[in-house]
Amino acid sequence: MAEAYVYDAVRTPRGRGKKDGSLHEVPAVRLAAKTLEALRDRNGLDTGTVDDIIFGCVDPVGEAGSVIPRAAAFEAGYDTK
């Protein structure tokens, strides 16, 4: 069995979920990318050493139903090999 290491945990900002809420214009991929950027920057992470990125999504619909972790890794500038 492979070893897994958890170095840190962050979450995306959350809003009230209203149509005119403060985050209603921010795409899900951008929120996820900001989360990955925070993990990288807070820990001096060499993103080339990251094998897996796992996200949870409560209600994956529309754009949020796509492969968000991979797209977010690209947007956050991670080394995606």
Question: Residue 65: its pLDDT value, please?
Answer: 64
**Inside any domain, residue 19:** no
**Inside any domain, residue 36:** yes
Q: Which domain holds residue 44?
A: 28-75
**Inside any domain, residue 64:** yes
Question: Residue 41: its pLDDT value, please?
Answer: 94
For the record, the structure tokens of 66 come out as 């796509």
**Inside any domain, residue 40:** yes
Stated pTM of the model: 0.76
Give residue-wise pLDDT tens across range 10-22. Answer: 887 776 667 787 8
For 7-16, 41-50, 60-69, which range has the lowest pLDDT when averaged over its residues? 60-69
Count of the separate structural domains present in the chain: 1
**Inside any domain, residue 11:** no
**Inside any domain, residue 35:** yes
For the record, the structure tokens of 10 come out as 């962050």
**Inside any domain, residue 16:** no
